[in-house]
Structure 1
Amino acid sequence: MIKIMPTSISLLFQDAGDTGLAAGETLFAAGEDVANIYMVRSGRVHLHRHTTHGAQMVLQNAGPGGVVAEASAYSSRYHCDAVAAEESVVAGLPKSRFLSALADDPAIAASWSAMLARSVQAARFRSEIRSLPKVADRLDAWLGEGNSLPEKGRWQEVAAELGITREALYRELARRRTENRA
């Protein structure tokens, strides 16, 4: 998960217009034209993709300073849905202005490249977690990266991030509670 944006990238969003989002509100949907690049100022925005089996997977968990759907800078349409996981504020910068800044300033371009590399590393880690056969192993790997379980009403977000059903996560958490009591 990308937590801190290099200063030169965050400066691009300094004068960008802010949009407030309620928890569960959609910032953009798959198939929409990419007009803006968004940075999270506060809260958390998830990038969702729906599988052919109807499951929802979290492909990105962008917090303060994170750019939502970074690859959209090089696409004409969004390939996923961006949904506020909690009350959030995002800054929107026109895509053309964003790309011009990258072309005009090598330091900004280098910061952007470094951020994209970290994003690829995070995606690979999520893929590695999802390749683990056991729910317990997936949860252990996720927790081992410094993540912690949110309050009970938001456990389904963790399940989506792990690529498992919420019921499978609930069973694993119940199993661990039972083991801890013994």
Structure 2
Amino acid sequence: MTYDFDHMIDDPFALLPPSARRTEDMSEGDVLFRQDQSTSGLYLVVEGGVSLRRTSLGGDILNLHKAVSGGYFAEASIFSDRYHCDAICTESGTVMKISKTAVIDMMQLNRLFSEGLTGLLAVQVQQYRAQIEILAIRSAKERVLAAVQAGYLDAKVTDLASRINLTHEACYRALRALCDDKRMAQIGRGEYRLL
């Protein structure tokens, strides 16, 4: 069964006063927050990309999540005193910061907002579970096919590769193999469609 995650619920944050939502331009490499910094809000990527990273005890950088246009991140900050990772801009664009205080206040005052926020978080859990299933596919070709079927190829092929933990070379090879198998067709530079 396929779910249309983007159209299941309305945006609960539209119920917040405009002063609770502030847009910020960002450049590649900008840091929105650091691990252990006091939380002040969650974010929506309006345009661009943000990587959530944590440094392991051994010093390795772990990429926890990549938020792209239309994606929320740092939702756990609503219920936490400190951010659990770093948020680094991976491409220039715009983010919207949503005030933690305003979210908590609205949750206590407005049942529709609370239900909408809960619904949004539930949909995200479903999306993360679907992504884990895709990442568990061992064959690069089948992983790419599953990701395209899930709607992950909505930008550059390199973004798709990063999202599904493949090198961009492996992703391009898989796309070419899927086209050779007549399961997909290339319709333009970096543009593919399912057959």
- The TM-score, its normalising length taken from structure 1, stands at 0.76
5+ long unaligned stretches in structure 2: 186-195
Equivalent pair of 1:2/1:63 in contact (CA under 8 Å): no
> Contact 2:16 / 2:102 at 8 angstroms: preserved in 1?
no
Aligned partners of 2:92 and 2:5: how far apart in 1?
19
**SS of structure 1 residue aligned to 2:141:** helix
5 Å matches for 1:93-108?
A: 93-108=98-113
Q: Classify the secondary structure of the residue corresponding to 1:92.
A: strand
Equivalent residue runs for 1:1-150 within 5 Å: 3=6, 6-12=10-16, 14-15=18-19, 16-40=21-45, 42-49=46-53, 54=60, 57=63, 59-64=65-70, 66-148=71-153, 150=155
Q: SS at the partner of 1:39?
A: strand
More strand by share: 2
Structure 1 pair 84–2 and aligned structure 2 pair: CA distance change class (3 A): farther
The TM-score, its normalising length taken from structure 2, stands at 0.72
Question: CA 1:57–1:165 in 2, change beyond 3 Å: closer, same or farther?
Answer: farther
Greater relative contact order (CA < 8 Å, ≥ 6 in sequence): 1
Whole-angstrom distance in 2 between the partners of 1:9 and 1:90: 14
Q: Distance in 1 between matches of 2:17 and 2:50?
A: 19
Aligned counterparts, 1:157-176, within 5 A: 157-173=159-175, 175-176=177-178
Residues of 1 paired with 2:134 and 2:33: CA distance?
27
Cα distance 1:167–1:47, how it changes in 2: closer, same or farther (>3 A)? same
Gaps of 5+ in 1: none
Q: Distance in 1 between matches of 2:62 and 2:169?
A: 14
Query: Which one has a larger percent helix, Structure 1 or Structure 2?
Result: 1
Q: Cα deviations across residues 74-129 of structure 1 (Å, max 9, x unaligned)?
A: 12222233333443222223312221111111110000000000000010011111
Deviation at 1:137, TM superposition (A): 1.3
Higher Cα Rg, which structure: 2
Q: CA deviation at 1:145?
A: 1.4
Q: Is the 8 A contact 2:40 2:77 kept in 1?
A: no
